[in-house]
Structure 1
Amino acid sequence: MRRRNLWVMSLLAAFVMCGCSSNKTIPYFKNISPSEYSKIAEAPYGEPTIKPDDILDISIQTVEPSASATVNEAATDNTVVAPGGQQRATGFVVDKNGEVELPMIGFVKLGGLTTYEARNLIREKAVAFFVKPTVQVRFVNFKITVIGEVARPSSYTVPNEKVNILDAIGLAGDLTIYGKRENVLLIRETAHGKEMVRFNLNDSKLFTSPYYYLKQNDIIYVEPSKGKIASADASRFSVIAIFASLLSTAALIITRL
């Protein structure tokens, strides 16, 4: 009896130790001391540039609203993927040459420009047709994707161009308890192919990383921990064991008939 009690106590101690060790990986930015809270440098931010197949919301306002109505009503309907399914997005599609066609103004090459630069260029061309035009340009389909061990894996279309990796994880409902916080993968499409970068959410260096701010079509993948993999394997083996047990029972019944 005594040996049995010692075995039970050892087992309980092991469970407690496992729980404590796994809890150490759950908090973010563990290496930040209280004295450093106001000293962390800001990561560099580069504004996203317009590329072919982007959808832009372009509006022109003048002192004569009826004059700019033609431009503002000419945007085409396009389908973009958003949380909860597909949604209709109204905007001007950038063609393969990086151009958009605006009524009255004609073709304007916006590829490679930021929305700020695009706004200034369209305004320069619009003054020939409108009185004191005010131009607004923004992305309609600025999309990021979060997959893996998060609460809500999905593609998210965001209205704000300045979005960081923590914003994306927040949109996805945070990592699950099985997500590997020290090895989050960022996949980015570049002109030279795919670029892959690893993040450690337990390290404050994340805030100064040049990849802290995301670009359009970035993909974030959160790997499952060894505990999740072991749990999945255990469940699979459990199903196999149950199935084998049922087969053995059926075979035994058959032999006794």
Structure 2
Amino acid sequence: MIFQAKNKRSLLMILALTVILSSCVSKRNSYFMRDFKKEIATAKVQQADKDYTIKTNDNLYVSVKTINPEVNAMFSQDDGGGLGAGNMYNSQSGQHIYGYQVDNRGEISLPVIGGVNVAGRTLKEAKEQIQLRADEYLKDADIQVRLLNFKVSVLGEVRSPGVYYNYNNTMTVLEAIGMAQGTTDYAKIKDVLVVRRGETAVQPFMLNLTKRDIMASEAFYLQPNDVIFVRPQKLKNVRLNASYYTIGLSSLTTIMLIVNFFWG
């Protein structure tokens, strides 16, 4: 009886420890940029990729506003309300249909103005180039240019994985994770992978989001079609397997209690 009582106590202790361990998730490395205690020299901070160069097949939003509503309607399908304000730009299909795609010659074809070469130019330079052409045909035209195909994929240990579009011309890796509703409790933010597709090769970046040094990384400011993968901690597998162990131990304990009750 003494031996059986010891066995029961041992099993109960193991069961209790298993439950406790399976419910514990370390928070040591779950804080973003936790070493951000001092200012960072501006020279060491990666500047926002405002100089993104337009490429063939990019899709652009181009708004040309004048005092003539009829002329405005020729250039924009958004009822004069700007990007995302009208029905035509509320869906990705609408943006592709009514945006201006850069052709193989590096040009976009605009009403009245005609073809304007924008490939290899920054968005700011493209705006200036379109402004110059517009001034030849239109009076007091106001030009706005945005990149419609700036999308990133956020995968792995985030609360809402998916593809996210950005219309502000710049986006950081932290903003992308924020759009995905943040990380889960199992996210290994010390080991976040950013995959960037170049013209000739795919370039991977490993980011430790607990360190402020990520602001100096080329991947801190994202580029169109980047893929962010937040890896899981090893503890996730332990936690998932622990539930099975808990069930097994619970069943074994129940059996032992029944045996002791009838045969003790």
State TM-score, norm by structure 2. 0.73
CA–CA distance in 2 between the matches of 1:31 and 1:160?
28
Alignment match, 1:88: 94
Alignment match, 1:25: 29
Check the 8 A contact 1:64/1:131 in 2, yes or no. Answer: no
Q: Structure 2 regions of 5+ residues with no counterpart?
A: 79-90, 249-264
Within 5 A, what are the aligned runs for 1:39-118? 39=40, 41=42, 42-47=45-50, 48-73=52-77, 87-89=93-95, 90-118=98-126
* Residue 175 (str. 1) matches residue 183 (str. 2): yes
State the 1:9 CA deviation: 5.2
**Cα distance 1:86–1:123, how it changes in 2: closer, same or farther (>3 A)?**
closer
CA–CA distance in 2 between the matches of 1:161 and 1:229?
38
**Cα distance 1:108–1:200, how it changes in 2: closer, same or farther (>3 A)?**
same
Alignment match, 1:247: none
More strand by share: 1
State the 1:30 CA deviation: 2.7
Larger RCO of the pair (alpha carbons < 8 Å, separation 6+): 2
Residues 20-65 of structure 1 show CA distances to partners (whole Å, capped at 9, x for unaligned) of 67221222223334xx2x4464332222221122211111122334
CA–CA distance in 1 between the matches of 2:189 and 2:141?
49
Alignment match, 2:166: 158
Alignment match, 1:119: 127
Secondary structure, counterpart of 2:158 in structure 1: coil
**Cα distance 1:40–1:12, how it changes in 2: closer, same or farther (>3 A)?**
farther
Alignment match, 2:155: 147
Check the 8 A contact 2:23/2:239 in 1, yes or no. Answer: no
CA–CA distance in 2 between the matches of 1:216 and 1:157?
9
**Cα distance 1:133–1:208, how it changes in 2: closer, same or farther (>3 A)?**
same
Secondary structure, counterpart of 2:139 in structure 1: coil
State the 1:208 CA deviation: 2.3
State the 1:192 CA deviation: 2.5
CA–CA distance in 2 between the matches of 1:222 and 1:98?
35
Q: Structure 1 regions of 5+ residues with no counterpart?
A: 75-84, 242-257
Check the 8 A contact 1:153/1:172 in 2, yes or no. Answer: yes
Check the 8 A contact 1:40/1:207 in 2, yes or no. Answer: no
State the 1:8 CA deviation: 5.1
Alignment match, 2:143: 135
CA–CA distance in 1 between the matches of 2:112 and 2:165?
30
Within 5 A, what are the aligned runs for 1:217-228? 217-228=225-236
The one-letter code sitting in structure 2 at the alignment partner of 1:88 is G
State the 1:67 CA deviation: 3.6
Percent of residue pairs identical? 30
**Cα distance 1:198–1:221, how it changes in 2: closer, same or farther (>3 A)?**
same
CA–CA distance in 2 between the matches of 1:104 and 1:231?
64
**Cα distance 1:73–1:29, how it changes in 2: closer, same or farther (>3 A)?**
closer
CA–CA distance in 1 between the matches of 2:93 and 2:74?
24
CA–CA distance in 1 between the matches of 2:55 and 2:241?
44
**Cα distance 1:119–1:168, how it changes in 2: closer, same or farther (>3 A)?**
same
Alignment match, 1:201: 209
CA–CA distance in 2 between the matches of 1:7 and 1:219?
47
CA–CA distance in 1 between the matches of 2:118 and 2:92?
26
**Cα distance 1:171–1:40, how it changes in 2: closer, same or farther (>3 A)?**
farther
Check the 8 A contact 2:61/2:146 in 1, yes or no. Answer: yes
CA–CA distance in 2 between the matches of 1:44 and 1:26?
26
CA-atom RMSD in angstroms? 3.2
CA–CA distance in 1 between the matches of 2:72 and 2:60?
17
The one-letter code sitting in structure 1 at the alignment partner of 2:49 is G
